[in-house]
Structure formats: C-alpha cells, structure tokens
Chain A
C-alpha cells in the first residue's frame, strides 16, 4: 500500500495528464450532443460579436475604398442583368430558369462576412445573420458571382458557413451547354480551383463551359453559377475536370443566403434507396 501511494505521488502528473486526455476524448466523441453544441454556438456568437465590433471600425476607415468597390460591382451587375434579359428573349431554357419560383430574389437574406479563417486548422466564414434573421442550417450561401457555400451552424445573430473550398463540401452541378452532370468538390491546393467528379467520358463537355448547381442537390437551389471549366483530362470511365471558381474568396465581404430548399419527399425517396449514403 505504501509503495502504491509512493508511486501515485511520484507519477501524479502522468495520472493528471491521462485524466485530462480521457475527458478530451469524451468531448471529441460526444461533440454533437446538445449541451456541447450549445456551448460551441455560444462561443461562436461571442467570438463573432467581438470580431464584428472590430471589423466595424475597420469598415468605417475603409469606407471610400468600399464605395469604389461597390460601384464596380454595380456596373458588373448591370451588365449581367442586360445580358440575362437579352438571353431570356431568345432562349426558352433561360426563360424557364428565370420563371422558377425558387429563385425569388425577395426571399434572399443579405449578410456581411464578419470573420474569415482559411488556415491549416480552420476553414470557415462567419456571417452576421442568424436565427433571428431567418437563417437555418443547410441554407445556400451565394453572391451575384456564384456559389459560396452552405450554412453549417446557426446562433441567434450569426451563422457559420462551410465554403466551397472545404474538403467536406460537395454539391451536384450541371454544365450550361452540354448538360453534363457531376459532383463538385475541392481537394485542397489552390483556393480558386475545384474539381468535378463523375462526368462520363461520353459527355461532350468543352473548355470554358460554365457549371451551375443542379436540381439534384438536396440543399442548393438550381442555377447558381459555380465556375468555368479550365481543364479536362480523360480517365478510364470518367473525365477529371477542373473548374475555376466563380467566387473570389479572398475579397468576399457580403453574401446572400437563399431560402431553404425543403423537399422532404425527395430526401425520403433518396434515403429509402441508399442505405445510409449522404447526398450533396
């Protein structure tokens, strides 16, 4: 007994270390439990609040540059609207997309990016719109240029967004000319290049074709630009396609959040046929 106590006293820092490690492993295992999720949400809310305040001062200091940038965006948007209107007159397909009720612009929520981390340890965006603004988990985040990501965590006034340039992000996409369908993902590397998988070798995909989100996606509304094809490499059965993303993540300041696409019946059907597979 004496020996045991001597050992205990001598190695108690090791025991303490083991106890803390065990608690940490428990936290990792049960990280999706309600209590821990709530704690995390509150932490994010607090961190976003502080960052938002800090960014506000920065925002005021750079108001002139911001105005110039917005003017440029306005010009760009105006030219885009004119292009779309012209195309809509000539193209029946375009008319269908424009008539789609899911693209009702009045239902979009605008938010400011208050925190952005693109590091080896964390890769996310934080926006200043939360549950009180009608934001829900899995809503699509976009800009006039294209798809930004999807909402993963929502607190009362802020939301965390998983960007397209995250290895866990996946979305179904379709090309505008050849109608080739595939699955967009990002495998790391350059932040403006993403990959599209599962495009059969028989498809007539060409360089510079634009990819848009497809109707197959369980969270994203269709027709959001994703990027343009910059490289096509044939494999045995499928093409390996690289696209240049439409959104410049380095200069992202404002985003739009699209209304949640609720299709429980579709998800149920997919669930019945899949045996535990997750769908983008």
Chain B
C-alpha cells in the first residue's frame, strides 16, 4: 500500500485544484460538492486513520493556500480525515465491494458533516445562523457530495474497492 503514496499525493494535488478552481463555484443553495472529502474518506477507509489524518492536514493546507483561509481549512480537513478513519476496513478483511462502498459512503457523510461544523464555527461570511449552517447546509452538502461519490465510485473506484 505504501508504494501507492506518491500516486495518492499527486491525486491530492489534482483533487485540491479541481475543488478550489472548479467545484467550489458550482454552488447550490450556498453549498457545493466536495471532492476532497471523497478523496480523504477513500484514503482513510482503504489505508487507515493515520494516513487519512495526515492527508487531511495537507489537503487543508493546499485548499487553504488556494482559498486564502489556511488554518481553518487545515483544522477542518484534519478532522475530516480523522473521523473518516473510524470507517477503516483492514487490508486483510474479507469485506465485499458492496460493504466497502457502504463504509465509504458512511465515512463521506459523517466526515463531511463534521468538517462543515468546524468551518461553521470559524467563518460566517453570509451571516447565516449557525444551526441552519450546521444542520440544513451541512446535510445538503453531504447529500450533494454523496451523489458525486456515487458517480465517482461507479466510474473510478470500483476496481480499487474490489482489490
């Protein structure tokens, strides 16, 4: 698995760029799908919590540099990777692709929701209420991200989850 790290680091750069320069513009009711959450959940579920947390930290650094809000993004993404780590599937497990996919979706929703809650506490540019941002927008963002995750899993991750 460690042989794949350089490959995952390269993907992390691409994913962060796609998120900040593309997907963050696709807003729907003030929220947008988050491909970084999907990537971090995938890392945490397939590799482990430590890798997920580390990747989360550096993903936060990258997205923070691009968006201009470094500290908060780093904190939110670290939390994201760490929370997703609780859904980790050990390498020697006999889980089926369907079971792995279910765990990945669970990780995406839970970690995305928690990261959103962290971001809400630190920055509120539209002056919306915290409860609305955490529960309504948090749920909506998790839902949109989940739809994107379904598509990405079907198109790209099927093989990785089966292996």
Per-position binary interface string of chain A over residues 155-168, scored 1 when its CB falls under 8 Å from any chain B CB and 0 otherwise? 00000100000111
Which candidate, A19-27, A67-75, A96-104, A236-244, is the interface stretch facing chain B?
A19-27
A54 to B20, CA, bound (A): 13
Contact present for B124 and A44 (CB under 8 Å): no
Tier of interface size on chain A: 35 or more
The 6 sampled A-B contact pairs (Cβ below 8 Å) are A24-B60, A27-B74, A29-B71, A40-B70, A118-B27, A119-B27
Q: Which residues of B contact A46 (CB under 8 A)?
A: 66
Contact present for A20 and B74 (CB under 8 Å): yes
Q: Which residues of B contact A17 (CB under 8 A)?
A: 53, 78, 82
**Known: A13-B82, A122-B125. Is A43-B66 also a contact (CB below 8 A)?**
yes
Contact present for A117 and B75 (CB under 8 Å): no
A188 to B127, CA, bound (A): 5
CB of B98 within 8 Å of the partner chain: no
In B112-131, the 8 Å CB interface with A consists of 119, 122-128
Q: Which residues of A contact B17 (CB under 8 A)?
A: 50
Count chain B residues whose beta carbon lies closer than 8 angstroms to a beta carbon of A: 42
Most B C-beta atoms less than 10 A away, residue of A39, A43, A50, A167: A43
Q: Which residues of B contact A188 (CB under 8 A)?
A: 126-128
CB of A187 within 8 Å of the partner chain: yes
**Minimal beta-carbon separation of A174 from chain B (angstroms):** 25
**Known: A13-B50, A117-B24, A121-B119. Is A27-B71 also a contact (CB below 8 A)?**
yes
Q: Which residues of A contact B27 (CB under 8 A)?
A: 118-119
- Residues of A participating in the B interface, judged by any CB pair closer than 8 Å: 12-13, 16-17, 20-21, 23-29, 31, 36, 39-40, 42-44, 46-47, 50-51, 54, 117-124, 153, 160, 166-168, 186-189
**Known: A117-B24, A119-B27. Is A24-B54 also a contact (CB below 8 A)?**
no
**Known: A12-B50, A119-B31, A119-B32. Is A23-B57 also a contact (CB below 8 A)?**
yes
Contact present for B50 and A167 (CB under 8 Å): no
Number of A-B contacts (CB under 8 A): 112
Contact present for A25 and B25 (CB under 8 Å): no
- Residues of B participating in the A interface, judged by any CB pair closer than 8 Å: 17, 20-21, 24-25, 27, 30-32, 48-50, 53-54, 56-57, 60, 64-72, 74-75, 78-79, 82, 85, 119, 122-128, 133, 137
Contact of A40 among B60, B68, B133 (CB under 8 A): B68
A44 to B161, CA, bound (A): 36
Contact present for B137 and A120 (CB under 8 Å): yes
**Known: A13-B82, A21-B78, A54-B21. Is A122-B67 also a contact (CB below 8 A)?**
yes
Most A C-beta atoms less than 10 A away, residue of B66, B79, B137: B66
A24 to B122, CA, bound (A): 12
**Minimal beta-carbon separation of A77 from chain B (angstroms):** 29
* Cβ-closest chain B residue relative to A121: B119
**Minimal beta-carbon separation of A31 from chain B (angstroms):** 6
Contact of B49 among A13, A21, A47, A187 (CB under 8 A): A13
A42 to B62, CA, bound (A): 12
Q: Which residues of A contact B60 (CB under 8 A)?
A: 24
Q: Which residues of A contact B74 (CB under 8 A)?
A: 20, 23-24, 27
Q: Which residues of B contact A44 (CB under 8 A)?
A: 66, 68
Contact present for B127 and A187 (CB under 8 Å): yes
A233 to B84, CA, bound (A): 50
The list of the 9 closest CB pairs from A to B, nearest first, reads: A188-B127, A28-B71, A27-B71, A43-B65, A123-B125, A24-B75, A24-B74, A120-B30, A167-B127
Q: Which residues of A contact B48 (CB under 8 A)?
A: 13
Q: Which residues of A contact B56 (CB under 8 A)?
A: 20
Contact present for B126 and A25 (CB under 8 Å): no
Given contacts A121-B67, A168-B125, 15 further A-B contacts (CB under 8 A): A16-B53, A16-B54, A31-B71, A40-B65, A43-B68, A46-B66, A47-B67, A117-B25, A119-B24, A119-B27, A120-B125, A120-B137, A123-B125, A188-B127, A189-B127
A120 to B132, CA, bound (A): 11
A250 to B106, CA, bound (A): 36
Contact present for A39 and B70 (CB under 8 Å): yes
